[in-house]
Amino acid sequence: MAQKEEATEPAAAAAAPASQNGEEDLDDLANPEKLKELIELPPFEIVKGERLPVNFFKFQFRNVEYSSGRNKTFLCYVVEVQSKGGQVQASRGYLEDEHAAAHAEEAFFNTILPAFDPALQYNVTWYVSSSPCAACADRIIKTLSKSKNLRLLILVGRLFMWEEPEIQAALRKLKEAGCRLRIMKPQDFEYVWQNFVEQEEGESKAFQPWEDLQENFLYYEEKLADILK
């Protein structure tokens, strides 16, 4: 799979124009060549693995306000399954959208955790490059309502189209359904780097925070708090 080149990002500001918060370029749909390219994409496919490439992490997880080119979702997960006897079995990995039309959040429940044993307790943590769209939020809510033994914590690098009323309503419904949702802190990005990103063989490089990581975390944290209050 071709790797994306990272573009220079503008510094975080106190407020971001609405057009800067969209994950997809809708103008592409008016371009006949681009529309043909989208139509000819292969059937939905989800890439699964244990560790994602360094360049993908640095580009896709970067918590920028202007998210041009980031039309994929990267979802790193930790699943802890606890029996009545207290024994815990854990697993981890990541999912990546093969192209813009796929949804990693829905794929998680279809492929990683398709069923829930009522005799077990499931504690699931997601580290996601951006927050769920309205459709994925609805799928998460339905799963939580049917699976009372599931606890889900979603940590997101940035908010997807957060100014849209439909998205804001979906995020509030997630909270009401019992889903814990918060913005990734600098230490969360470091955790993903250490546990989900490919490292040089025999050597683990230290996480190098980008310049505006803390500033953008505070920006998104404030926006999410305003939406959920």
Q: How far apart are CA 202 and CA 99, in angstroms?
A: 33
The amino acid at 42: P
Amino acid code (one letter) for 33: E
Q: How do the residues of the chain divide into helix, strand and coil, expressed in percent and rounded to 5?
A: 35, 20, 40
Strand runs (DSSP E) across 61-189, as ranges? 74-82, 88-97, 121-130, 150-158, 180-183
Question: Which residue is listed with tokens 């949804």?
Answer: 103
Residues 198 and 76: beta-carbon distance below 8 Å: no
**Is the distance from CB of 47 to CB of 192 less than 8 angstroms?**
no
Residues marked as catalytic: 105
**Considering only CA atoms, which of 32, 125, 19 is closest in space to residue 81?**
125
Q: Rounded to whole angstroms, how far apart are CA atoms 20 and 174? A: 24
Burial class (CB in 10 A: 0-12, 13-18, 19+), 159: buried
Could you say which DSSP state residue 97 is in? E
Tally of CB atoms within 10 A around 20: 15
